Structure 1
Amino acid sequence: MLNSRFMLVALACAMFSSAHATNATCDPASLNTTSFNYVNDIENQTVHEMAVKFNRGVCDIGRANLMVDVSVVPNVGQTIIIPAEVCDPDWTTCIIDGPGTNDCLIGGPRLYYTLNGDTLWKIAGRLNMTLDAVQCGGDGCNTNVTCTDGICPGGSGGQYSANETISAGQFIKIPMCYPSICEIEPYSFTAGVYKDLADKYGSTVGQIQMLSPTYNYSYITSEGGTPPPIGMPKNCRLLASNYTILD
């Protein structure tokens, strides 16, 4: 986990330094201000790699496509909007900086549905939970636990290591805090990435994802289409200072 955190911070710092260097010498007249659709034709190509390839900020691409999280790996054949080139590309404001601090999920829900490229380390970050809580649940790791019919108990037990890629379409049970609550309402997703919504409405990226589990991104809105409807958890909070973990 420490190695992954170091690599993420190092990458962000490198991109941030590069962006500042670009800004210091940037001539707006030289920029490619045309946005275009890019059909991903490379398996396991990340959004970061696309951003480097086209000299765009990874967060600029994420927000242009209403992405869940820029760490989700696009599938081959997905259409990604590449926005106009800018002097100040954004490499940092959409990044989730590793696992969080909570030992259970405040307000639920229970089941996390994995997306392409997910790892327990990424999932813990999206849920603002510790890696141990997501990996092992409230009672500690049990290496004898296995997943049945795609449902993994107790945060998946010893089924996966922290940085092992989990197949998309798996349900992982997440330990929940009791008593706690989230308010939920329908929402038209018109701008940003899930991190923007989570920060604004008092939830987490993972909780928003769990309410619309098969959603990944959308380029339709930028082309005049209807914004995707999603479920929005809001004001997630504990209802008592003492709580138990429902695992």
Structure 2
Amino acid sequence: MLASASASKAACNQETLNTTSFNYVNDIENQTVHDIAVKFNRGVCDIGRANLMVDVSVVPNVGQTIIIPGQVCHPDWTTCVIDGPGTNDCLIGGPRLYYTLNGDTMWKIAGRLNMTLDAVTCGGDSCNTNITCIDGICPGGGGSQYTANETIPAGQFIKIPITCDIEPYTFSAGVYKDLAEKYGSTVGQIQMLSPTYNYSYIANEGGTFPPIALAKNCRLLSSNYTILS
């Protein structure tokens, strides 16, 4: 990524850019969005937003169609990237079950939920003093069988706890990180409300923008409550 970021800062002649977008059908297993961005000299975040992706770290499936946007002088390699786990011991908001996507790890899930790695893997009583853990089990106990960077099969449920305003939402621009920052939620929370959604290239080709459920204003309903696992 460093080489790609450095290249974006070099002098750019817009007349030499290929500004035409096109569709690319992924034909390589475990090829990441970053790999595709490097292959076509685009920014990973430019590709993510062109396809209304949940998160650019989700590994595309073989046969998945991806819009490759036109080249720009300053490709975006950073603004949509979730930079590792967060700092929260417990999730303020929900819903209860996290549904894994292709290429997910506990490290990625912790980042999307803005929680510590220890909290989502339940390495012990890591919740804060306002949360009561039962028999040493914390809200993220469903992930305790996985190591931090072990790839988890897609379609698995990981237990996480709950409390947000939930509203229907038409997803028409950006990636989930953009929505999370705007509405006071997290990527993981929005993902958990529409667990089977991954991306949409059809919407940007004249199709219907995907309807999703959006978590807003996530907060504690009281200063002290109990999580039962």
**Same structural fold, with TM-score higher than 0.5 when normalized by the shorter chain:** yes
Structure 1 contact 112–206 (Cα < 8 Å) conserved: yes
Instruction: Summarize the alignment of residues 1-247 of structure 1 with structure 2, pairs less than 5 Å apart.
Output: 11=1, 13-21=2-10, 25-136=11-122, 139=125, 154-157=141-144, 159-174=145-160, 176=161, 181-247=163-229
d(CA) in 2 for partners of 1:137 and 1:188? 37
Structure 2 contact 142–157 (Cα < 8 Å) conserved: no
Mark the CA change 1:230 to 1:138 in structure 2 (over 3 Å): closer, same or farther. Answer: farther
Structure 1 contact 138–246 (Cα < 8 Å) conserved: no
**One-letter amino acid of the structure 2 residue matched with residue 69 of structure 1:** D
- TM-fit CA distance, 1:14: 4.2
d(CA) in 1 for partners of 2:8 and 2:12? 10
d(CA) in 1 for partners of 2:104 and 2:219? 26
Greater fraction of residues in helix: 1
- TM-fit CA distance, 1:139: 3.5
Q: Structure 1: any 5+ residue segments left out of the alignment?
A: 1-10, 141-152
d(CA) in 2 for partners of 1:88 and 1:124? 30
Which residue is equivalent to 1:149? Answer: none
d(CA) in 1 for partners of 2:143 and 2:172? 33
**1:123-177, CA deviations, whole angstroms, 9 ceiling, x for partnerless residues?**
000000000010116646xxxxxxxxxxxx71322x1110000000000112x36
**SS at 2:48's partner residue?**
helix
**1:171-222, CA deviations, whole angstroms, 9 ceiling, x for partnerless residues?**
0112x36xxx311110000000000000000100000000000000000111
**SS at 2:219's partner residue?**
strand
Greater fraction of residues in strand: 1
- TM-fit CA distance, 1:243: 4.9
| Sequence identity (%) | 81
Q: C-alpha root-mean-square deviation of aligned residues, in Å?
A: 1.8
**1:49-104, CA deviations, whole angstroms, 9 ceiling, x for partnerless residues?**
00000000000000000000000000000000000000010000000010001111
**One-letter amino acid of the structure 1 residue matched with residue 12 of structure 2:** C
d(CA) in 1 for partners of 2:118 and 2:38? 33
d(CA) in 1 for partners of 2:199 and 2:158? 21
**One-letter amino acid of the structure 1 residue matched with residue 120 of structure 2:** V
**Normalising by the residue count of structure 2, what TM-score does the alignment of the two structures yield?**
0.90
Which residue is equivalent to 1:7? Answer: none
**How many aligned positions are there?**
217
d(CA) in 1 for partners of 2:223 and 2:124? 18
- TM-fit CA distance, 1:241: 4.2
**SS at 1:71's partner residue?**
coil
**One-letter amino acid of the structure 2 residue matched with residue 154 of structure 1:** G
**SS at 2:218's partner residue?**
strand
